[in-house]
Amino acid sequence: KTATNDELHERIRVAKETLGERVVILGHFYQREEVVRHADYLGDSYQLAVQAKNRPEAEAIIFCGVHFMAETADILSSANQAVILPNLAAGCSMADMADIDSVTQCWEELTALYGTEPDADGRVPIIPVTYMNSSAALKGFCGENGGIVCTSSNAETVLKWAFERGQRVLFFPDQHLGRNTAKAMGVPLEAMPLWHGRKPLGGNTAVELAEARVILWNGFCSVHKRFNVGQIEQARRDHPGVRVIVHPECPMPVVDAADEYGSTEYIRKAVAEATEPTTFAIGTEINMVQRLAAQYPQHTIFCLDPVVCPCSTMYRIHPGYLAWVLERLVAGEVVNQIVVPEDVALPARVALERMLAAKP
Ligand code: 13P
Ligand code: SF4
């Protein structure tokens, strides 16, 4: 017989109570409501990384999010803590768009093109920057090559960090976060060639490549690429005075047309801090938008995409999996543990610690 939701919630509650301080449940804002209600802490990818580092008292961290987040938690948590991903199939299609072999090939091309000698100010020709939404191997690659990790909440701070140390940046996997952030910092679009593996994709000339400031990897988020300018125009027609906020993983024309953009925490805070009843049209994942709408009934809050757009991999964390991993822990068994091998974790930690130390 299949457990009903009520039965599952009760099983989770009982197992959690039995484990007490031994376990901490972290949840990303995109998790479904049935999972979020059991989380000890809810946050964006940056906040969850910080939490994972700062919870040494727990034997196990159950990460209700996607694979790259659990890997990051394993890298930053204490040595004897187990990080558990309730469903191992919860990946991220954007993170899968950059693999270590193609990025290494790209790096070989770029270092052959730009050399490795620092300029008169001590800045190296190119620095790799990876978005948090990437494998541990790519974070390790950045750690080994003088690079750094960023999230959507600190991308500008991190790019500044990189430009203090390098003349150019290779940014992967999300072209949109890279383009939107660099554009806001005044980097011209012509100085941002798109690249994949060994090749620039735009048939760029040698002069264009010499003048490049940010080389963008050809990755994107399949959820955020669904948003378009037409939806913003429609929202403005239907709701005069609407405040449009989108995530920086949206394509550049969408970010340009919006009133504001920012990470999931930025969006949450914008809604939480609005003092007057406001209409918000939000360009991000639907579970988060629906939760905000339920939490702040004084505002009118809707998703820019009228066709529901969940992150299908985040959605794979069903409460049934959460109940299962918790009950196995009660029985003394760790299942679905995410372990990053130490030879990868070591340089990845370097790149993550550089991010945590970079100040706005
Ligand atoms: P945040 O950094 O805003 O949590 O976003 C993570 C993510 O995967 C967005 O698609
Ligand atoms: Fe990955 Fe997009 Fe899902 Fe974020 S919303 S986890 S980038 S697929």
Is residue 105 in a domain? yes
79, pLDDT greater than 90: no
Instruction: Give the atom of ligand 1 at the shortest distance from the alpha carbon of 224.
Output: 10
Mean pLDDT of the chain: 96
Mean pLDDT confidence for 163-185: 98
Domain-ending residue, one of 221, 239, 265? 221
Residue 308: is its pLDDT beyond 80?
A: no
Residues 169 and 205 in one domain: yes
In this model, does residue 360 exceed pLDDT 80? no
Nearest residue (by CA) to ligand 1, atom 4, is 44
Among the candidates 221, 249, 284, a domain finishes at 221
**Got the DSSP string for 195-243?**
EETTEETT---HHHHHT-SEEEESB--TTGGG--HHHHHHHHHHSTTPE
239 lies in the same domain as 283: yes
Q: Judge if 159 and 124 occupy the same domain.
A: yes
Answer whether residue 217 shows pLDDT above 70: yes
Q: Are 235 and 304 in contact (CB under 8 A)?
A: yes
Residues 93-106, mean pLDDT to the nearest whole number = 97
Residue that terminates a domain, selected from 221, 252, 271: 221
The pLDDT of residue 193 is: 96
Q: Does one domain contain both 24 and 137?
A: no
Residues 143 and 77 both lie in one domain: no
Confirm whether 64 is domain-assigned: yes
pLDDT, tens only, 6-63: 999 999 999 999 999 999 999 999 999 999 999 999 999 999 999 999 999 999 999 9
Q: How far is the CA of 209 from the centre of ligand 2 (A)?
A: 30
pLDDT the model gives residue 269: 98
* b/e burial code for range 174-186 (CB count within 10 A of at least 16 → b): bbbbbbbbbbeee
| Whether residues 332 and 248 fall in one domain | no
15 CA → ligand 2 middle, Å:
29
**Confidence at residue 261, expressed as pLDDT on a 0 to 100 scale:** 98
Residue range of the domain that includes 163:
95-221
The count of structural domains within the chain is 3
pLDDT of residue 202: 87
Give the mutation target among 29, 174, 221, 225 for probing the ligand 2 site: most ligand atoms within 8 A of CB: 221
Q: Is residue 74 part of a domain?
A: yes
pLDDT at 68 over 90: yes
pLDDT tens-digit profile of 111-168?
A: 999 999 999 999 999 999 999 999 999 999 999 999 999 999 999 999 999 999 999 9
Q: Let me know if residue 205 belongs to a domain.
A: yes
Q: Are residues 208 and 118 both part of a single domain?
A: yes
My answer on whether 116 and 127 are in the same domain is yes
What is the rounded average pLDDT of the residues 316-328? 98
Do 230 and 217 belong to one domain? no
ipTM of the complex: 0.98
- Position 207 confidence tier, pLDDT thresholds 50, 70, 90: confident
Q: Does ligand 1 come within 6 angstroms of the Cβ of 152?
A: yes
Say if residue 336 is in the same domain as residue 283: no
- Establish if 356 belongs to a structural domain: no
234 shares its domain with 266 = yes
Is residue 1's pLDDT more than 70? no
Question: 61 and 72 in contact (C-beta within 8 Å)?
Answer: no
**CA of residue 342 to ligand 1 center, whole Å:** 26
270 CA distance to ligand 2 centroid (A)?
21
Radius of gyration of the chain (CA): 21
Section 316-327 average pLDDT? 98
pTM of the predicted structure, to 2 decimals? 0.96
In tens, the pLDDT along 275-304 reads: 999 999 999 999 999 999 999 999 999 999
CATH of the domain at 230: 3.40.50.10800
Note whether residue 360 is domain-resident. Answer: no
**232 within domain boundaries:** yes
Q: Pick the residue whose CA is nearest to atom 1 on ligand 2.
A: 92
Residue 196's pLDDT is 87
Where helices occur in the chain by DSSP H, the ranges are 5-19, 33-36, 45-53, 67-76, 100-114, 136-144, 155-165, 175-184, 206-210, 229-238, 252-257, 264-272, 286-295, 319-330, 342-357
Looking at the CA of 267, which ligand is closest?
1
Q: Give percent of the chain with pLDDT exceeding 90.
A: 92
What does the alpha-carbon distance between residue 14 and residue 1 come to, in Å, rounded to a whole number?
A: 20
- 311 labelled ligand-binding: yes
Domain co-membership, 123 together with 211? yes
Residue 359 in domain: no
